Amino acid sequence: MDERPRIRDLRPFLKVLTLFLGTFLIGWIGSVIYLSQTYPDIEWDWDNIKTSDIHFPLNFAWGTATAAHQVEGNNTNNNWYVWERSVDDQGVSRIHDNDSSGIAADHWNRYLEDIILMKDLGVNHYRFSIEWSRIEPQKGFYDLEALSHYRKMCKALLNGGITPVVTLHHFTHPIWFENMGAFENEENIDHFIQFSELVFNELMNLVPIWCTFNEPSVFVAQGYFNGIFPPGKKDPVLAGTVLENMLNAHVRTYHKLKSIPGAEENQIGLVKNIFQFDPHRRWHLLDWAFSKILNDVYTNAPLEFLSTGNSSFYMPGMVDNEMSNPNAPGSLDFIGLNYYSRMHVRGRINPAEPFVFDTREQDIMTDMGYPLYAEGFYRALKTISKLGVPIYVTENGLADNTDNIRPLFIERYLYAMNQAIKEKIEILGYFYWSLMDNFEWAEGYSMKFGLYEVDPVTKDRKLRKGSQPFIDMVNKRGADERGYVVGVGEMAPDFTMQYISGEKVKLSDLKGNVVVLQFTASWCSVCRLEMPHLEKDVWQAYKNRGLVLIGVDRDEPLDTVIKFQKEMGTTYPMALDPEANIFGLFADKNSGVTRNIVIDKDGKIVFLTRLFEEKEYQDMIKKIKSLL
């Protein structure tokens, strides 16, 4: 039998198939290249990074964070209390190891002791949440004693030099509110606002920083999508509704509280958790597709809502919830960022489970099953900075029962945050999660997040060794290795100085110019070496192009400084610095004098030199040139 004609019949088909496969392949490869370029996987070469080489602004807020239900103990009137006592379809407890919050860390009774622990760390802020179910145990009935407990706690914090930061909703609310459908129903938002107003009126004079909600995206993902937090639902449409209602509740609460006389000074914001969803296989379009969907619903939709007032909670084939509120833009005095890690997403051709989270061999894992990924912290800070408001890192930490990787975590994550600050992202403070071990929701007491370990029986607190890098950084606030008490990226402190001509000038009046402050003295030989170069390379080169160079002479009388300038033959202005008070704003008064501070047109410090070293000096000249 001759088969040839049949094969010939197939040729057009094969041609079309080849064309189709070719186009598909080219399309695939092209898309992967495009996506990889647009969303590069940031991973730093940690072997060649000196994580200790960082410095934070002097006025940076350092704190620790907790949440009421996780630490207080005896919270028996909220949604979690009920949840901890319920079982799933298989009759299994909702909480790991059958745990329940119980007396938690007994923080309700031991808060004074805990304030001492905070002081021992050296922090100056404390973020905690107010338990709504204590304040309003029955709808419309308020427990004023509970309210006064929080007042006492705020006062004790302030007495200890620690600024209280309050969260109004951190995953828990009263049982009566849950029974009404909580944030599933838009009408219920009023109850939250009433509670918030009550607390705000009581504490606004003591608490400068307020967070309305902690992590609406986590609340929604865990409670309405994965079903592992109360109310344990798995309903994407409802998830979209709850997110929308919580975001609207934030917006309404913000405006309501801000309208209270005297509230202009209080800073009110929302806490957003960011977990990046990254493709597990960077060559696989399915992984990219699911990563995008997850990033959109989890992070991009809420952020877009906050900045534009419009966005949509969209998951193809599941939910498309348009969210809109013209009052959303302008509803943040700051944004709180909670950052822990990222997830690697692997898409599957399985409608029942279209994607899974995967791990990579090379990653260092925390006990929560996600990796150490400090680069992600830097990425998240950049993402959230697009809102254009100052940032507080309201939570960051890890569960590490062995305490082996805690130091590495702290060093790397603080380094990552410092990188963001250097890139001029406005970060006002950082709160470590958590002050002490606590009830980790569905994970019960198995996760050890505390800087302090809490004995499960006696509730005694003990500092973990691995917490030391945090303590070191918090207390490094003095001066860095070069004696500087300021860092690049910070706003220059303001002061008034007097030129040797007698004229006075305030640094802030020079805004719009690039300012170089040269700290010097007649007895300083290195300064003498450097000054002719500054005269030529900085002053003569740029004095007519928006640059001001000022020699600030350390604590010498007027005639000495006049003589000094003559000897040097320099023509740039010199100013007096009695008692080295100006010097002391930038560097430790006990440290050496030869330094240049380069300040950009907005008043930010952009370059710092110490001594007169060729490479650093040339880099400074390049920097100055780039600014003009």
**Catalytic residue set:** 215, 395
Q: Give me the least distance between CB of 99 and ligand BGC, in Å please.
A: 14
Would you say 215 or 577 has its CB closer to ligand BGC?
Answer: 215
Spell out the long-range contacts of 78-81 with Cβ–Cβ below 8 A and sequence spacing 24 or more. Answer: 78/131, 78/132, 78/133, 78/172, 78/173, 78/174, 78/175, 78/178, 79/172, 79/173, 79/174, 79/175, 79/177, 79/178, 79/182, 79/230, 79/231, 80/171, 80/172, 80/230, 80/441, 81/175
Residue with tokens 């103990």: 73
Q: Give me the least distance between CB of 127 and ligand BGC, in Å please.
A: 10
Would you say 124 or 273 has its CB closer to ligand BGC?
Answer: 273
Would you say 103 or 505 has its CB closer to ligand BGC?
Answer: 103
Q: Give me the least distance between CB of 485 and ligand BGC, in Å please.
A: 33
Dihedrals φ, ψ of 348, to 5°? -135, 155
* Residue 574 to residue 391: CA distance in whole angstroms: 38
Q: Give me the least distance between CB of 96 and ligand BGC, in Å please.
A: 13
Cα angle for residues 403, 404, 406 (degrees, 5° grid): 65
Would you say 111 or 439 has its CB closer to ligand BGC?
Answer: 439
* Residue 226 to residue 342: CA distance in whole angstroms: 17
Q: Are 259 and 201 in contact (CB under 8 A)?
A: no
* Residue 131 to residue 116: CA distance in whole angstroms: 22
Would you say 273 or 419 has its CB closer to ligand BGC?
Answer: 273
Residues β-bridged to residue 278: 344
Q: Are 622 and 615 in contact (CB under 8 A)?
A: no
Q: Give me the least distance between CB of 103 and ligand BGC, in Å please.
A: 17
Q: Are 58 and 485 in contact (CB under 8 A)?
A: yes
Would you say 128 or 200 has its CB closer to ligand BGC?
Answer: 128
Binding interface with ligand BGC (CB under 6 A): 67, 70, 214-215, 218, 273, 338, 395, 433, 440, 449
Cis previous bond, 231, omega within 30: yes
Q: Give me the least distance between CB of 102 and ligand BGC, in Å please.
A: 16
Q: Give me the least distance between CB of 222 and ligand BGC, in Å please.
A: 9
Closest Cα partner for 106 from 391, 578, 439?
439
Q: Are 183 and 88 in contact (CB under 8 A)?
A: no
β pairing state of 452-454 and 355-358: unpaired
Would you say 241 or 434 has its CB closer to ligand BGC?
Answer: 434
